[in-house]
Homo-oligomer: A and B are copies of this chain.
Amino acid sequence: MNRKILISPYGRALGVFTLFALMMINSSAALADEVTIGMSKEVAYILNSFMFLMCGVLVMWMAAGFAMLEAGFVRIHNTSVICLKNVALFAIAGMMYYLIGYNLMYVDVGDHGLFGTFNIFYEPNATELALMATDDENTAEIKAKTLQILAEEDYSTMSDWFFQMVFVATAASIVSGTVAERIRLRPFLIFVAVLSAFIYPIQGSWSWGEGWLNGIGFSDFAGSTIVHSVGGWAALTGAIILGPRVGKYGPNGEITPIKGSNMPLATIGTLILWMGWFGFNGGSVLAMNSTKAVTTMSVVFVNTNMAASAGCIAAMFYAIIVKGKPDLTYVLNGALAGLVSITAGPDVASPGTAMLIGAIGGVLCSMAIPMFDRLKIDDVVGALSVHLVCGIWGTLAVAIFMTGDFVAQITGIVAVAIFVSSTSAALWLFLKYSIGIRVHDEHERTGLDHPEVGTEAYAGFYYRSNTEEQDEDV
């Protein structure tokens, strides 16, 4: 399933058919019960583009969701730095995608199917710019340019670009949560830049860019693999190469829980992500110019919600059974797990199936969190369990419950895993042995906010030092 050719040939060829059929009828009485389909190409162009913009804004909003989720899950002395990272990574991801990424992901991938073009900048096309610059009074010119655009495009190029751009930031956001509380700011932001410019777009070109994975039938509607597991693999390699936080794992296998400092922030972060996900999955229908498109979009909205709900409640029951209490962090991550799980196939599941997929995702995520701890892979916010584990699960679910092909799905999962893990690992190692990726132990103990960004997160409040907290826990 590719992401470029989004308007069905039906939209192109047949959209205006019935409208015309209607014209043959002369009696207005007869018209009263007439059912008409189709619309002018211009209305289709407007509806598609506006949908991209509105859904894109919802996805952009997820940047705030990740920022709050992570700010809630880190300790007090690391809060400013995680806030800064989340804002800066959204800015950098967009700029790198504009400079290099989009072309690499979507422009002329078809020839070999491995990546697009290496041009820099992606701009509105010349006809669009000319139309925008035309004086409103010059109706003949406007009409000519409009016809030219409508002959070639089904939506404004930059509305699509905007929608694609906000996706790359999501992938980058996943990384920041896992490697929080001990990574230095500079190498992290460099990693984000390379991820956004090269790693994410190249693997994205294979599927959404109409490359080789698309050719073999790999199906990932809104990015369980293409977005979420990409962020997950980049985060996993980072977590391994970076190592766990000081004091997290004891010499005899003890695991010290390190509590997040602000649960209401983590809660609003989760609800922001839930909200934004309607744009993430819903907008991935990639069109709104037909009954089929908007009917699908409605089902996608519902399935997205049901999977999140079921993931949340499944994780709550899991926590009650395993831990005796419905730990809030499990509930929040369970909702996100449900969301990631349904992302590969929200268009083909029924609401009931979506609930099942989401519930399994919620349980898998809850089981993965202690598993990563046993492996001494330190993931501050649980992003690996949410985005990597459930990203894989969701992609497989398309084959299990729906129309997806198992071989294609597994091929896609593995190919993305190999490519992203190897390139990410190489990049992390390069950064480690060049500028260094880890803060000083002393800085980690006292908190990163002062040494890394110089901004106290909660000035005026009394709070424990990081060390003091660890003393208590040990």
Contact = CB atoms under 8 A, between A and B. Distances in A.
A41 B36 contact: yes
A49 B14 CA distance: 21
A36 B19 CA distance: 11
B9 A46 contact: no
Contacts of A185: 326
Contacts of A71: 264, 267
A302 B335 contact: no
A192 to B, nearest CB: 11
A291 B335 contact: no
B60 A274 contact: yes
Interface stretch (A210-218, A305-313, A408-416, A430-438): A305-313
Closest 3 CB pairs of A and B: A91-B309, A259-B459, A8-B136
A132 B95 contact: no
Contact of A40 (B38, B52, B61, B261): B38
B10 A79 contact: no
B50 A294 contact: yes
A267 to B, nearest CB: 4
Contact of A42 (B158, B290, B347, B453): B290
Interface string A50-88: 111110111011011001100110011001110110111
A12 B28 CA distance: 13
A165 to B, nearest CB: 7
A152 B306 CA distance: 26
Contacts of A291: 42, 45-46, 131, 146, 149-150
Contacts of A136: 8-10
A22 B22 contact: no
Contacts of A332: 87
A260 B459 CA distance: 6
A280 to B, nearest CB: 12
A281 to B, nearest CB: 11
A43 interface: yes
A185 to B, nearest CB: 7
A67 B263 contact: no
18 contacts: A9-B136, A14-B143, A42-B291, A46-B294, A50-B288, A57-B279, A67-B271, A98-B355, A123-B350, A123-B351, A132-B292, A149-B291, A158-B298, A162-B305, A165-B305, A259-B459, A263-B455, A329-B455
B460 A464 contact: yes
Contacts of A19: 40
A50 B335 CA distance: 25
